[in-house]
Structure formats: C-alpha cells, structure tokens
Structure 1
Amino acid sequence: MQYIEQFLEMALAERGIAENTLISYKRDLLDFKVFLQKIKTEELKVTSDNIERYINLLSNNGILPRSINRKISTLKNYYNFLISEHYAEYNPVLIVDLPKYQNKLPSVMSVEQIRTLLNFYDNTESIEVVRLNAMIHLIYASGLRVSELISLKLVDMVSGGGSLQVRKSFAVKGKGGKERMVVINDKAKTAIENYLKIREEFCRGKSLKANTFFFSSSSSSGHMTRQNFAQLLKKAAIQSGLDPTNVSPHVLRHSFASHLLEGGADLRVIQELLGHSDISTTQIYTHVQTNHLKKTLKNFHPLERKELI
C-alpha cells in the first residue's frame, strides 16, 4: 500500500484530525497491508470479496464488531481518498455488510454519588488532593474529555498580570482541533482557585514545558497523564466509599451530560458543551434518560407496584 503516507498527510492537513486518530488510521491501514500481502493482492485490485474475507478474519481472531467497523471505516476513507486522487476508480468497501453491534449505554454516577466524591475532598490541606479535587470539579462542571483536561495550559485558565484570576469561561480545542467555549460554576471555580494557590509546588524544578500546563507534573509530557489521573480518581472513589469500577474520567463526563439532560437542558446545548460534531453522538444520553424514566415509573407508579395490583 504505497499511498498510506499521502492519505495521512491529507487527513492531517485538510481534516485536522487529532494525533490519536492519525495513529489509529495508520495502524488500521498497516494491518490491512499485512492482510493483502498474505493473500497476494495489490491495494488497487482489492474487491468487495477481499474486504468481506478480511472482516471474517478479524471476527475469527476475536476482534469486536465495534473495532471491526472502525477498521473498515478507515479503509472506506482511504479508498475515497484514492478515488479523489484518481488512483482508483471505485471503493470496494461500499457494498460490504458490516457486523452489527449495539451501542453500549454510558455509565453514569448519581447526583448523590457525585456529591459524595466532591464533598469528601473539599476540606483538605494535602496539595496532591487539592489538585485532584480541582480536576474532579472541573471535569464534572464542564464535561471536558480527559485529554482536554490534562492538556489545559495556564494561559487558558487564568487572566491578569501580577494577580492571576481564574476564568469562569475559556476556550478549549477538542477533537479535530475544533474549538468550543467551556463555562464553569462557582464551586468549581473555588476548587480551581484553591489549587492555583499551591500550583507552584508542582512546578518547582520542572521544565519550562511543565510550567506551561495548568496541571503540571514531572512526566515527559509536562502535565499529568491520563493514566495517573484515572488511578488517582479510583483511589478517591475508594476513600469516598464509592465503587471504583463505576468511577472514571469518562464516567464523570457522561454524568455531566446525563444530569444536564435530566435537569431539562436542550440536547443541542449539551452537544455544544461536549464538543460533539454530530447530534447523533449526543442522542445516546436520551437512552440513558429513558432508562431513568422507566425505572422511576416502575418504582413509583401505583399500577407498577405489585402489592397494589
């Protein structure tokens, strides 16, 4: 497959895809390249039968339907690129049947569980816990992706010269470099201000890169890593008396969206706050809300309560 690098350059330049997506594209295409070498077929001679054979191979190797669909989607984009550049005349992916899968509903925490987690760390003097508390407050108040949270820079979060002031709204770049505004509540602002007072403790002796990031650390990236934040969050859940298997950065983001919907927020507003490019991605929260309504009906409607029937 001789046009992979060209395709990746196009995707980066014209579509502005994120680095992780670019890595995923390259991995998918290299996997397919290995398959073509095994069946001794050139990329421009691939047929729909070849694609179906590849899908069957992936399935037999235990690859989940969702992952298979992603890999085939990458191939579809790749062959569309080949057509646009006049390297190929048709897309062999278009008429294949993809494996079916059900969208897994996102896990969410209850409002009471969120309060338990937040209140547990609200009154503490440990600088590590003050930082963690600020991060938990911020992600639940804004619905930030964990990658967006950890890569926030000091200039994103504060304004002013000698006396730094935490912003109540700021811009963040999401997937594909798409920029959106984030607004935080007063409680989150207070937690972030408390962290800002001791932030220098995490910057001493660190590189200039670490000083640039708001949640700086000694990691090679200069900021707290996704893995470290997830581990600290699990520890916080245990100490708060919560089930750690139901507490993660992604669950906090899901909880933010679900609780907004329960409170009556418009789905389009939630879409904008989450940074979803397609409303269909946001609509999964309506299914969560439907399940919540069904459970409420079953528990409280007089004709649903067996002892009254």
Structure 2
Amino acid sequence: MDRHVEAFLEMMAATRNAAPRTRAAYAADLRAFAAYCVGRGLETDHALIRADAGCVQGYMARLAEEGVSARTAARRLSCLRQFYRFLLREERRSDDPTARERAPKLAPALPKVLSEAEVARLIEDGSVGHEDPRRDLVARAAIELLYVTGLRISELLSLPSSLSRSAAPMVLVRGKGGRERLVPVSDGAREAALALARHDRGLGSPWLFPGRDPSRPLTRQGFDKILRQAALLAGLDPDRVTPHVLRHSFASHLLDRGADLRALQMLLGHADIATTQIYTHVMNERLRHAVARHHPLGNG
C-alpha cells in the first residue's frame, strides 16, 4: 500500500475513530483512483502524490460514463478531498487537486421503513421457529432493542452482557466518533435481553450477543443471517428488513406520534440535526398523500 495512503488511514483511525470497514472503503476508493491515474501515464509508485486537477476531473467524468451512481461518485470524491487535504496539512503536497471539482448533485434518498404492523409481526413471528431455539432468543432481543432504541447495528452488537442485569431505564451507548449518549430501553426489550442472557450464562461472555467465540461479539454477517430468517418467518421480504431499516422505522414512527426533532437527534446520536431532518421528508410525503387522498379539494 502507498505510504501516503497508510499515513492517511492511520490518521482517520487515530483522530476520527474511523471504523475498519470505513478505512477499507477509503483504501479501495484510493486504489481505484490510483489505477485510473496510472492509466493516464503516471508512474505506479507516485500516481496519487502526483495526480493533478485534470486527473480528478477525468476520473469523475469516467465514473459518470460508466454509470456509477451520483451517490457513489460523491462518496469517492469526498474520499479524495479528505486524502489530499490531509497531504496538504502534512505539507506533502502544496496544492489540493480536488479543490475545484464539484460533487454530483444528489436526489434526497428517503429512508425505507416498515409499518408498525410489520415491525410487530417481525418481533412476534420472527422470533419463533428458528432451527436453533437459541436463535429465537437472539432474534427477539436484537429486533426489540433495535426498534425501541434506534441503535446502529455496530452499537447493538457491542452492548455488554451487564445490560440484562441492570434495572436502569436508560442504557449508555458509545456511537460514531466515540460520542456517548443515553437511550431509553423498554421493559419488553430488557426482558428479551434477560431471557437471552439467562440462556447464555454458562458462556461467561462479556457481550450481550456473543459470537461463536464467546470472547468476541456476534459478527454483523452472523446477525444478518438471523435477521433474514426472522423476516422469512414473519412473512416479510427479507430484502426490506435490515438493521438500518429498523433504525429508520424507529425514527419515523416516533415522529408520526409527535416526537420532537431535537430529541430524535439525541436518540439517534446524530452530530448534526441536518442528518435527522431527512425524516421530515418522510412526514411531508405522507402528509401530501393524506391531503390528496382525503381533502375534498385534493387530487385523489
């Protein structure tokens, strides 16, 4: 790996607490850009450090020609910006070749959500009937916790086993960037967690959701298999049921019932309320449909 890329990824880990998956994505994006630069005649060992604005412009044009989505192209440009600004700060370059490149315009991506009835089916029917009875307990505890707290999947899988032994109405969660927040936990979710912990008490694991090796938490891939089976048991399309969809459903259902946007920002652990405001688009769309359908002068 290019030594400048290594230094950049080390900085991302040390100062921004970037997760391994995030760093791997950055590395892949930089490799793709370096390969493009080599194709333009730059030496392999110096492609990234010697790339100029023309390389960036040509690369973005190539992505458009290949039909890469605007969102993916914008993410790749963001990676390049961060990389070259890092080199600029470290005085390894005297310019930023991405400075004049504009990011592709993105259409707002509305969150995909399940209805309240679908979530209820997922919790009740999706936690009964797994081949391994323990998976019933894992599915019930995980789905309830995801839906009643709005946790990210990484936050869920890093919950300690001590959660099940605490009677406190709130749980402390460490989110992105190491930011901590308190999130309420319902009695039902806590009981589901306790049932799983009782089953697993002989494992001696520090994790609420232990993996095959009890000293490590359940992996994202392992949980995805459980959630997929839960969706099938509940009669739902498994492609519609993901941890992030449950997080979106948590947020959308709270707003539907009158929750405050600032409170929702705190619950979700968003650093910027602009990130939370995407859920208002969901509400606005529902209101527009409601007026069109039910108002005497609507278009329904």
Q: Tell me the TM-score normalised to structure 1 length.
A: 0.85
Secondary structure of 1:22's match?
helix
AA aligned to 1:19 is P
Q: 1:43 Cα shift?
A: 3.6
Match of 1:117 in 2: 122
Tell me, yes or no, if structure 1 residue 214 matches structure 2 residue 215.
no
Secondary structure of 1:222's match?
coil
Find the partner of 2:262 among 250, 253, 268. 268
* Partner Cα separation in structure 1 for residue 77 and residue 142 of structure 2: 36
Q: Residue by residue, what CA displacement relative to the aligned partner does 1:140-169 show, whole Å, maximum 9, x if unpaired?
A: 0100111211222224x14xxxxx335432
Match of 1:161 in 2: none
**8 A Cα contact 1:166 1:193, kept in partner:** no
AA aligned to 2:137 is V
AA aligned to 2:174 is K
C-alpha spacing 1:193/1:167, structure 2 compared with 1 (3 Å): farther
Tell me, yes or no, if structure 1 residue 107 matches structure 2 residue 108.
no
Tell me, yes or no, if structure 1 residue 169 matches structure 2 residue 170.
yes
Tell me, yes or no, if structure 1 residue 227 matches structure 2 residue 228.
no
Secondary structure of 1:285's match?
helix
Match of 1:181 in 2: 182
Superposed CA RMSD: 2.4
Matches within 5 A, 1:15-34: 15-34=16-35
* Partner Cα separation in structure 2 for residue 98 and residue 217 of structure 1: 41
Find the partner of 1:236 among 212, 230, 255. 230
* Partner Cα separation in structure 2 for residue 153 and residue 259 of structure 1: 27
Q: 1:51 Cα shift?
A: 0.5
Q: Tell me the TM-score normalised to structure 2 length.
A: 0.88
**8 A Cα contact 2:135 2:226, kept in partner:** no
More deviation in 27-36 or 124-133? Answer: 124-133
Q: 1:96 Cα shift?
A: 1.3
* Partner Cα separation in structure 1 for residue 54 and residue 74 of structure 2: 16
More deviation in 137-146 or 224-233? Answer: 224-233
Q: Residue by residue, what CA displacement relative to the aligned partner does 1:166-194 show, whole Å, maximum 9, x if unpaired?
A: 54322222222222222211221222222
* Partner Cα separation in structure 2 for residue 18 and residue 192 of structure 1: 26
* Partner Cα separation in structure 1 for residue 232 and residue 7 of structure 2: 48
AA aligned to 1:139 is L
Match of 1:36 in 2: 37
AA aligned to 2:272 is D
Q: Residue by residue, what CA displacement relative to the aligned partner does 1:66-118 show, whole Å, maximum 9, x if unpaired?
A: 11111111111111111111222221112113322313211111112222222
**8 A Cα contact 1:237 1:244, kept in partner:** yes
Match of 1:137 in 2: 144
AA aligned to 2:119 is I
**8 A Cα contact 2:161 2:197, kept in partner:** no
Tell me, yes or no, if structure 1 residue 72 matches structure 2 residue 73.
no
More deviation in 119-128 or 1-10? Answer: 119-128
**8 A Cα contact 1:180 1:273, kept in partner:** yes
Identity %: 36
C-alpha spacing 1:258/1:39, structure 2 compared with 1 (3 Å): same
**8 A Cα contact 1:17 1:177, kept in partner:** no
Secondary structure of 2:212's match?
coil
Secondary structure of 1:95's match?
coil
Match of 1:289 in 2: 283
| Paired residue total | 293
C-alpha spacing 1:110/1:83, structure 2 compared with 1 (3 Å): same
* Partner Cα separation in structure 1 for residue 126 and residue 230 of structure 2: 8
More deviation in 102-111 or 7-16? Answer: 7-16
AA aligned to 1:141 is V
Match of 1:12 in 2: 13
Structure 1 residue runs of 5 or longer lacking an equivalent are 159-163
AA aligned to 1:7 is F
Q: 1:199 Cα shift?
A: 2.2
Q: 1:2 Cα shift?
A: 4.2
Structure 2 residue runs of 5 or longer lacking an equivalent are none
* Partner Cα separation in structure 2 for residue 240 and residue 29 of structure 1: 42
Q: 1:240 Cα shift?
A: 2.1
C-alpha spacing 1:44/1:233, structure 2 compared with 1 (3 Å): closer
* Partner Cα separation in structure 1 for residue 199 and residue 236 of structure 2: 28
C-alpha spacing 1:267/1:108, structure 2 compared with 1 (3 Å): same
